[in-house]
Structure 1
Amino acid sequence: MFTGTGGGTDAVRLTAVRKVYGRRGNEVVALDDVTTGFGRGTFTAIMGPSGSGKSTLLQCAAGLDQPTSGSVVLEDSELSTMTETELTELRRDRVGFIFQAFNLLPVLTVEQNVTLPLRLAGRSPARGRVASVLEQVGLGERRRHRPAELSGGQQQRVAIARALITEPAVIFADEPTGALDTRTARDVLDLMRGSVRQTGQTIVMVTHDPVAASYADRVLFLADGRVVGEMQSPTADAVAERMTRLGAYSDEARRAPAAGGQR
Structure 2
Amino acid sequence: MNTGWNGDAVRLDGVRKEYGKGVIALDGVTLAFPRGGFTAVMGPSGSGKSTFLHCAAGLDRPTSGSVVLDGQELAGMSETKLTKLRRDRVGFIFQAFNLLPALTVEQNVTLPQQLAGARPDRRVVEEMLTRVGLSGRRKHLPGELSGGQAQRVAIARALVTRPPVVFADEPTGALDTRTAAEVLGLLRDSVRATGQTVIMVTHDPMAASYADRVIFLADGRIADELHAPTADVVAERMTHLGAWAAPTHASQRRGQNTSPARAGA
Secondary structure at 1:49 match in 2:
coil
Alpha-carbon deviations, 1:160-179, whole Å to 9, x = none?
00001121121100000000
The amino acid that maps onto 1:46 is: V
Q: TM-score, normalised by structure 1?
A: 0.91
Do residues 86 (structure 1) and 81 (structure 2) align? yes
> CA–CA distance in 2 between the matches of 1:257 and 1:208?
24
Structure 2 counterparts to residues 131-210 of structure 1, below 5 A: 131-210=126-205
User: Aligned residue for 2:123?
Assistant: 128
How far did residue 81 of structure 1 move?
2.2
- Aligned length in residues: 248
1:249 maps to which of 237, 244, 252: 244
1:48 maps to which of 43, 50, 59: 43
The amino acid that maps onto 1:9 is: G
> CA–CA distance in 2 between the matches of 1:175 and 1:33?
24
Do residues 223 (structure 1) and 205 (structure 2) align? no
User: Aligned residue for 1:11?
Assistant: 9
Q: Which runs of 5+ in 2 are unaligned?
A: 1-5, 255-265
How far did residue 127 of structure 1 move?
4.5
> CA–CA distance in 1 between the matches of 2:91 and 2:250?
35
Structure 2 counterparts to residues 18-37 of structure 1, below 5 A: 18-22=16-20, 26-37=21-32
Decide whether the 8 Å contact of 2:42 with 2:216 is kept in 1. Answer: yes
- Give the alignment's Cα RMSD to 1 decimal: 1.4
**Identical pairs, percent:** 69
The amino acid that maps onto 2:221 is: R
Decide whether the 8 Å contact of 2:205 with 2:231 is kept in 1. Answer: yes
> CA–CA distance in 2 between the matches of 1:146 and 1:13?
38
The amino acid that maps onto 2:128 is: V
Secondary structure at 1:34 match in 2:
strand
Decide whether the 8 Å contact of 2:70 with 2:89 is kept in 1. Answer: no
User: Aligned residue for 2:3?
Assistant: none
The amino acid that maps onto 1:254 is: A
Alpha-carbon deviations, 1:200-237, whole Å to 9, x = none?
11100000000000000000000000011110000000
Secondary structure at 2:30 match in 1:
strand
Q: TM-score, normalised by structure 2?
A: 0.91
> CA–CA distance in 2 between the matches of 1:30 and 1:68?
10
Secondary structure at 1:166 match in 2:
coil
> CA–CA distance in 2 between the matches of 1:209 and 1:243?
10
Alpha-carbon deviations, 1:106-147, whole Å to 9, x = none?
110100000000000000123511001111111111111111
